[in-house]
Amino acid sequence: MATIAEMTTWWSRVPLDHPIRFKWNTITHRDCVVVRLTTDDGISGSAIGLSRGAPLDVVAQEMLGPSILGFDAMDVAGFQTRSRGAHAFADQTGMLAQARSLVDLALWDIRGRRLGAPLWQLLGGGPETAPVLLVEGYELPGESDRGFADRLLARAEEGYTAIKLEAAGYADPRQLFERLRLIREGQRGPLELVVDVNGSWHELRSAQRMARHLAEFDLAWLEDPFPHDRLDLLGPLTESSPVPIGSGDDVTDPQALLALIRERAVDVLRIDATTLGGLQPALDVIGAARQAGIPVSGHAHPYVHQHLSYASDAVPYVEAFPEDRPFETSFKLTTGSVFRDVEDGVLARPTAPGLAFELDLERVDGWAARTQTRRAQ
């Protein structure tokens, strides 16, 4: 029996080529936490998550390290049981859930590597390919409305049939409407458009008014209209909106997502396996959404969420950022993003074992603001 001999964590700050401005903040870099577990016979498994400034690396080491070091490397369920028992009186959501997710996924990476199978295969397999939902719609500096639209339309010409636009940074929504109009007028084939508000709305009536304005653009869904402390507003908006509503990014409580399913408070459920506390909670939520007939969309992190698309028809798209744009840079901590493997807007199943990615340790170390290694006693 191989055991976990070592846990190394990095808090790495990956710079963006230019700032991304939202309504409430400006992003100049991506804060990422990397967790790598190594067995006593030399097999390593890793996971990467966005920390957004939270000390997830410290939580992983101090709170979860004692529940993983020295234990069976193949026993993912055992880790979950031990860690939840050790902190039975702590809130199981928030930073603890996020850190537990990364340790859990690193264990699954080890499991796949030991068995010589990619994660999607361990989960039972499914569709051989998945269309990519390309997050291309961040604004570039000095870009005109026409230039913005032409850039997205050029991606459609490359074969992408689903593209996401970021909408939290517009001081005047009429500019967003104009860009959507130009895209719809210029498209030559089927094109699903998603508009992501990034939780920047706080009032139901104005959200309902915006949804009515957006209806003419035939959106696939309007994403994350409210911050996660106002999930109660989703049901009334979904019931009244002529545009499908999607939400769930970064939620750390599976029960909150299950409640959205039960109440049919969303038309599309967004999930993030790097925040929900582990792979099994994510699978539980996906299964419940599938039974309810609600499609699921993975939030970023295609190195993980592609496996869910290939294991379940409930997750039709793989969300990915273009590697040749400066929008999302966490892929730079690896030896290559899934974007390189997209052909005609479609991504095929990976064949490499585990989570099917490799860390670029030189970059992980180079951008690390904090590194810690703990070994089994």
pLDDT tens for residues 12-49? 999 888 787 776 778 888 999 999 999 999 999 999 99
| Residue 199: DSSP 8-state | T
Instruction: Please give the pLDDT value at position 25.
Output: 75
Phi and psi dihedrals of 137, rounded to 5? -85, 35
Percent composition of the chain: helix, strand, coil (DSSP 3-state, to 5): 40, 25, 35
Q: Domain residue spans in the chain?
A: 4-116+362-375, 121-348
Is 121-348 a domain of CATH 3.20.20.120?
A: yes
4-116+362-375 belongs to which CATH class? alpha beta
User: Alpha-carbon distance 72 to 51, whole Å?
Assistant: 27
Instruction: Please give the pLDDT value at position 26.
Output: 80
Instruction: Please give the pLDDT value at position 3.
Output: 98
With a cut of 90, say whether residue 2 has pLDDT above it: yes
One-character DSSP codes across 309-327: HHH-TT---EEE--TTSSS
CA 372 from chain center: how many Å?
25
Task: Identify each DSSP E strand in 71-183 by its residue range.
Answer: 129-137, 162-166
Percentage, residues of the chain above pLDDT 70? 99
One-character DSSP codes across 320-359: E--TTSSS--GGGGBS--GGGGEETTEEEPP-SSBTS--B
Instruction: Please give the pLDDT value at position 23.
Output: 66
User: Which of 21, 46, 31, 23 is CA-nearest to residue 329?
Assistant: 31
User: Alpha-carbon distance 311 to 374, whole Å?
Assistant: 34
Assign residue 45 a region (left: φ > 0; alpha: ψ between -120 and 50; beta: otherwise).
beta
